[in-house]
């Protein structure tokens, strides 16, 4: 059974009703000039909002999708 909700509605993350924020905002981290997405409610860019963790890029997500529960890490 899939964990995806069948009626296509996820609380707070529905892409059709997602809130948009002011365009042109930049990361709050001093010295970081990364422009934030209008869909990013965080004040920090993806690099700085999770200290100590590597950014989750598409390759990481694909790896997580392909790795099953008992796979080697
Ligand atoms: Zn940043």
- CA–CA distance, 48 with 51 (Å, rounded to integer): 6
- CA–CA distance, 64 with 61 (Å, rounded to integer): 5
Task: Determine the distance separating the centroid of ligand 1 and the alpha carbon of 44, expressed in angstroms.
Answer: 5
Task: Determine the distance separating the centroid of ligand 1 and the alpha carbon of 26, expressed in angstroms.
Answer: 8
Q: Which contacts (CB < 8 Å, 24+ apart) does range 26-33 have?
A: none
pLDDT at 2 over 80: no
Residue 39 is encoded by which pair of tokens?
């869909």
Instruction: Give the 3-state secondary structure of residue 35.
Output: strand
Task: Determine the distance separating the centroid of ligand 1 and the alpha carbon of 50, expressed in angstroms.
Answer: 10
Question: What pLDDT sits at residue 35?
Answer: 93
Render pLDDT for 6-59 as a digit per residue (tens, 0 to 9): 666 566 555 566 677 778 899 999 999 999 988 888 899 988 987 565 556 666
Task: Determine the distance separating the centroid of ligand 1 and the alpha carbon of 23, expressed in angstroms.
Answer: 16
Residue predicted with more confidence, 45 or 66:
45
Task: Determine the distance separating the centroid of ligand 1 and the alpha carbon of 30, expressed in angstroms.
Answer: 8
The predicted model scores a pTM of 0.41
């Amino acid at each position: 059974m899939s964990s995806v909700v069948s009626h296509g509605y996820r609380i707070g993350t529905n892409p059709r009703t997602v809130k948009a924020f002011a365009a042109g905002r930049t990361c709050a981290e001093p010295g970081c000039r990364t422009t934030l997405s209008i869909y990013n409610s965080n004040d920090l860019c993806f690099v700085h909002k999770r200290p100590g963790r590597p950014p989750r890029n598409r390759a990481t997500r694909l790896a997580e999708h392909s790795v099953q529960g008992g796979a080697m890490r």
